[in-house]
Amino acid sequence: MDNRELTIHSWDLRQDILDIVMAGGGGHIGGDMSVLAPLLLLYKRHLRVTPETVDDPNRDRFVLSKGHSMEAYYAVLCDCGFLDLEDVKARFNKLGSPYIGHPHNVLPGIEMNSGSLGHGLPVCVGMALAGKMDKRDYRVYTIMGDGELAEGSVWEAAMAAAKFGLDNLCAVIDRNRLQISGSTEDVMPEDPLEDRWSAFGWNVLSVDGSSFEELDGAFEAAKTVKGRPTVIVSNSVKGYGSPVMENKAGWHHKVPTAEEYEQIKADFLKGKEAAQYVQ
């Protein structure tokens, strides 16, 4: 798929996410919508891993550090053949199910359990460092939430990644500026975010988090950087795709009512139709 096709296709996955949340009676739907574009693009174009190569030592590694956006991850893993969508919808959040609200590495394609915020980047630093030591050419990717950056372990990992020159490491920050308790800038200010990461020795790229073209260019650029890790600030919108949810902290974790479901579904259809007319 090219970037236009991925943009169109992403609206189908937004509907899948909505249905997973409705079926399971819970989910972090706001962050699911803001993180979907980089997640889908990674798996469709940049991440060298398939259902057949999940145990290959040369595979690329990915960790969803903001593990509470698991419904988006399920949708992408199903779309790429790692999981079955109907099985996920039937068993999500059910007693004894492996399909829970955070990544669980008993499932194919999931490298590590996550959800306790601030752990993804430190683990990815270890993975990237191991790749260097073993002289393997795999790359390591992680997606973090911007609210997650209040965790001190993130910045310890950022220092270590720069110290060891981990140019095989690429981190994405889902910069939707909202977290469960409100605005990130009210809870723990982060701006100027790009300057902070640059000061820690990282190559910094800032893009529109809903633009597959901009995200694609950033992932490609990251592969060319030598001697230091890259962070992509994905400027996004919480609840992206429907005015019912967009930029509303209350949609951090919420199940739509039947009326809201129908409106969100209609908004997604409008988004897909609009994307089809963009050349």
**pLDDT of 228-242, one tens digit each?**
999 999 999 999 999
Give the pLDDT of residue 13.
Answer: 98
Residue among 207, 210, 179, 211 nearest 193 (CA): 207
**pLDDT of 145-180, one tens digit each?**
999 999 999 999 999 999 999 999 999 999 999 999
Question: Whole-angstrom Cα distance, residue 168 to residue 138?
Answer: 7
Global confidence as pTM: 0.97
Give the pLDDT of residue 115.
Answer: 84
Give the pLDDT of residue 279.
Answer: 66
Read off φ and ψ for residue 59, nearest 5 degrees: -65, 155
- Write out residues in the chain with pLDDT < 50, as ranges: none
**The two three-digit tokens of residue 207, written as one number:** 């893009």
Average pLDDT taken over every residue of the chain: 97
Residue-range domains of the chain with CATH: 3-276 (3.40.50.970)
**pLDDT of 53-64, one tens digit each?**
999 999 999 999
